[in-house]
Amino acid sequence: MAKKLDIERILCKQGFGTRKQCRIMILNEEITVNGALCDDPDTEFSLENLHFTIRGEQWDYHAQSYLMMHKPSNYECSHKTQHHPTIYSLLPHPLVERGVQCIGRLDEDTTGLILISDDGQFIHRMSSPKHKVPKVYEVTCKHPIDDTQIAHILSGVQLIDEDAPIAALACERVNEHVIHMTLAEGKYHQVKRMVAAISNRVEGLKRIQIGQLRLPDDLNVGEWRWLSDQDIDALSTS
């Protein structure tokens, strides 16, 4: 049997305010559930395929949040920022209230695919070094990249403060100045440091893939969306 909860608790768990605030919205007839007005905070609903509107805005029930975002440049992946806006300002407030966290931070000047969730187990599986989830970066370099430099990246470069050389899982040249580099680690400024180690410099950096999940062409910079079942499957096979 599908689990049921009263609408007041449902809205509270979905990040729409305290139980008191949610009760007031319900009593003020600001809520519809599955297309019908609901003005009783104690009315119970099945959580399966549940959708509702809050002051006319459509929402679907999600037990937990699994999101992707096309991160813009000059945004920080932190709730407490220092110099730039936070990526969480690009999300609806109820999702932020649910305590979502980005999975692996991108530097403020790095763009591309980032995952966001409030599922601790999912966050751990996608970010833990022991799971070695591959990530693909599109790297624009200041100077032309030659075969010798690519071979060096694949065989391993020595970084300061690292005991052993660090190698990319894959490195493909897209054109004279652009490569696609695949890494399993997430060390501090790793791509930039690896490119510097081959006497070049990163001019632009964009993450285009995590596991088997690619950044969708139709997800514009600054936009976000819920992960689909197919997206989750793509990450599960990583």
Contact 117, 101 (CB under 8 A): yes
Question: What are the distances in angstroms from CA 230 to CA 90, 189, 211?
Answer: 24, 30, 13
Q: Residues 4, 46: contact at Cβ < 8 Å?
A: yes
> Identity (one letter) of the amino acid at 177?
H
Contact 171, 181 (CB under 8 A): yes
- Which residue numbers are catalytic? 107
Buried b (16+ CB within 10 A) or exposed e, 2-16: eeebbbbebbbebbb
Beta bridge partners of 127: none
